Structure 1
C-alpha cells in the first residue's frame, strides 16, 4: 500500500498487495466520491464489519448482545438522494472534501434516478446557480425539492424543468412551484400523498423489511403507539392488525398520514397527532392506553421518551434506529428498567456506506 500525506491525513495512491478481503469497486467514482466508502470489501467481510459497528456500540454500553441476522435491503437501489449542484458539476461531496465530485450516473440509486438525477441537478444550477437538490422516486414520478441560499435565485426559471424532465412535482425552499401530479407512495394498503421533503426509508426493500419486522414485533397487541411516525411507514402496516395512534413533530407528515388514513380501506383505525416527542414525550400515564410501542427516532435517539417508557407499564417495545451509538444508549436504559432485548436485526439499506439500520424488540 502506498500513501501520500495530506496535512494530517493519508491519501491512498496504490495497493501493492491487496487483502484477501478486498475486491474491485463496481463504481467508477469510488475513491473520489464520498458517497460510498466500503465498495472495496468482499461480502463476508462487509457484513461482518457493519454488524460489528452495532455489536461494539452495545458492548460499550455494557450489553452482551449478538446478531447473526443481516438483511440486505438495498433492493433496486436508493429511492431518495440529495445532490449538490455547483459550478464544478453535480454530485456528492468528494471524499474528505467540501468540493463536489461531478458524476453522470450513480449506480446505487434506483434506475429512475441513476442518470436523471445528476442531469436535473446540473440543469438546476444552470438556471439559478448553486443549490442542493433532493430527489424522491415516488409511485407517480420524480419529486424534486431545490434548496438554495442565493437571494437572487428566481423560482420562475426552474418551472420549465417540470415538463423538460417529466417531473411529478418541483419545489423550492419548501414551497411547491409546480405539480403535474401529486407524488404518491403506497404504504401497505394506504396511498400517501408525500409532503415536500418527506422523510422516507432510503429503499423500498428496507421499508418493507422494517414494516414486517414491526408488525411481527408487536405480537398480539391491539392498541399500538407509533412514535416518530413520519408519513406512516409503520402505522399503516401495524393497522392491519391493531388500532394505531401515531405521533410526529412534522406537520406535513401528520397531515399526509391523516389524509391517507381517511381514504384507506381494510385497516383498523389510524389516528395521527402532531407532537414534539423530544420536548413533550408521551408520559408514563398516557401509555396506559396502549399494549405496545413502535419507536423510530432520528439519529439523536429518544432518551426523553425512553425514560417515560421505562416508567410506564408497557411491556413490548419495537425500536428502529439509524445510529448505533444512540441505539445502544437507549437500549441500555430499557434493559436497566427491566426490559430484555430479545431480537436484534441489522437491515442494510445504506449499502456500501458506514450507516446501519437496526431493528430490535424489547419485552418485560
Structure 2
C-alpha cells in the first residue's frame, strides 16, 4: 500500500472521514472534515499514517484504546471520540434526517436526546484463551483482533469494575483457544453474565465456575448459552416501579436515561388511549409503563421475555390488564381486523425494522402510532409505508444511547391524517 495525501470532505454514516479522489471516495477512520492526512490506501479504505493539518475541532480522545495509535490496538467500540460535541450531536441528528430525506419524508426532527460517558449498562465482550492467559475486550473495526481493555469510559463503573471477575470466569470455563463472547447486563441486583461460543465445560470446570460466581461480589447470574449455571440472586430491573426479572441474554435498552426518554415520548403521544398494542414488546419496557393508564396487549416472539413480563404484571398491583401473545410479527403481523380494538400502537422492532407490520398498520384505522427504532434507514422505510397509508408523521426524535458510536435510536410519532 502506497502512502497518499488526501483532504477529508465530510463524515460518512459510520463516522469515517471521506476523501473524494480521482479513484473514487476513500473512507478514512478517525479523520475529520477539512483535515489533510497522509494515509496508506487499500482500494477505498485509508489508514492514517499522520495528520498533516488537523481540524480546529479535533478533540483529545477520552480513552487510551481509541484511534489508530490506540494502546493494545484500535478498539472497535467507539468511532467518534475525536469529534467536538456540537459536531457530534449534529452528526447523530443528520443520520436520522438523511434517512428520512432518502424516503422523501419532510417532518420535524427534534434535538438529540443525549447520553454520556459511564452510562452504558449493557455490553458484549469478545474473548479468547491465549498462551499468556485470557484476552478479553472488544474487537478492532472489521477485524477479529481482540483489543484488551484497560479502561472504557462509556461503560458504567459497576460493569467495568467487574472485568477481572469476567476474566476469572472465562479462565475457568474456556478450555481451548476458540473465540467466545460474553454478554453482560448490569441489573440492580448484580451482573447478568451470559457466555456463548464455548466448548461444553467439564463437570470440574462447571463446579469451579459455580464456586467463583458465588464468591465474587456483584454477580447475579451466570449462564452458558441457554443454561443457567448458577444464580446467586435473580437479576432484576425496575421499569416504572415494576420489578422485572429478565431472562438470560435478553434485550434491554442500553442506558436508563435513553429508555426513560423514549418511554416519556411514547407515553405522551399515546396519552388518553384506553387500549394499546405493544408490538415487539420484549419484557415490557413500554407495556409496563402504558399499563398504568391503558389496557395493553403485548406481542413478542421471545417466549421467555413474555414470561418475564407476565410474572411482573401478576406481581404488581395497580396496573390495567396486560395480555400477552407469542407471535412472529415478521411472518404473521397483526392484521387490520385484529387491530380494530386498539386506540394506539407502539412498535420497537430489531434493526431489520417492521416492514410487514407497517404494511398492515397502514391499512388499519388505529389513530396513533409510536415507532421506535435503532436503525434510521429501516425506520424511514416503515414511516414511508405508514404515510402512504394515510398517517402523518408529527415528529421524529433522535436518541443517543450508543455514545461515541455511529449508531442512533429514534422515536417517531404518527397520527392518522
Q: TM-score range by the shorter chain?
A: over 0.9
Corresponding residue number in structure 2 for 1:194: 246
Shift of 1:8: 5.3
Q: Which residue of 1 aligns with 2:7?
A: none
Structure 2: runs of 5+ lacking an equivalent: 1-36, 68-73
CA contact (8 A) 2:280 2:348 kept: yes
Give 1:16's aligned residue: 52
Q: How far, CA to CA, are the matches of 1:45 and 1:351 in structure 2?
A: 14
- Give, in whole Å, the separation in 1 of the partners of 2:248 and 2:206: 16
CA distance in 2, matches of 1:241, 1:98: 48
Say if 1:109 and 1:265 are closer, same or farther in 2 by CA, change over 3 A. same
- Distance in structure 1 (CA, Å) of the matches to 2:200 and 2:42: 36
Match of 2:170 among 125, 131, 140: 125
Q: Does residue 1:319 correspond to 2:380, yes or no? A: no
Query: Could you tell me whether the CA contact under 8 Å between 2:108 and 2:394 is conserved in 1?
Result: no
When residues 298 and 180 of structure 1 are mapped into structure 2, their CA distance, relative to the original with a 3 A threshold, is same
Name the counterpart of 2:40.
Answer: 4
The match for 1:36 is 78
Which of 125, 128, 132 aligns to 1:83? It is 125
TM-score (norm 2): 0.84
Given the superposition, is the C-alpha separation of residues 114 and 197 from structure 1 closer, same or farther in structure 2, using an over 3 Å criterion? same
User: Hey, what's the Cα distance between the residues in 1 that align with 2:44 and 2:386?
Assistant: 40
**Structure 1 152/185 Cα, relative in aligned 2: closer, same or farther at 3 Å?**
closer
Aligned-partner SS, 1:241: coil
Gap change, CA 1:8 and 1:342, over 3 Å in 2: closer
Larger Rg: 2
**Which portions of structure 1, spanning 4 or more consecutive aligned residues, are displaced by more than 4 angstroms?**
151-154
Q: Could you tell me whether the CA contact under 8 Å between 2:195 and 2:223 is conserved in 1?
A: yes
Residue in structure 2 matched with residue 310 of structure 1 by the alignment? 362
* CA–CA separation in structure 1 for the residues paired with 2:235 and 2:270: 30
Identify if the C-alpha distance between structure 1 residues 226 and 75 changes in structure 2 by more than 3 Å, giving closer, same or farther: farther
Q: Which residue of 2 aligns with 1:103?
A: 149
Could you tell me which runs of 5 or more consecutive residues in structure 1 were left unpaired when the two chains were aligned.
none
Aligned to 1:134: 183
Which deviates more from structure 2 when the two are superposed, residues 345-354 or residues 261-270?
Answer: 261-270
Q: CA deviation at 1:21?
A: 2.4
- Counterpart pick for 2:212 among 153, 161, 164: 161
Structure of greater relative contact order (alpha carbons < 8 Å, 6+ residues apart): 1
How far is the alpha carbon of 1:76 from its aligned partner? 4.4
Residue 210 of structure 1 aligns with which residue? 262
| Count of matched residue pairs | 363
* 1:336 has 2:388 as partner: yes
Q: Specify the SS of the correspondent of 1:87.
A: strand
**Once the two structures are superposed, what CA deviation does each residue of 1:199-246 show, in whole Å capped at 9, x if it has no partner?**
100011111111111111113111000000001000111112111110
What does 1:226-237 align with in structure 2 at a 5 Å threshold? 226-237=278-289
Equivalent-residue separation in structure 2 for 1:8 and 1:210 (angstroms):
37
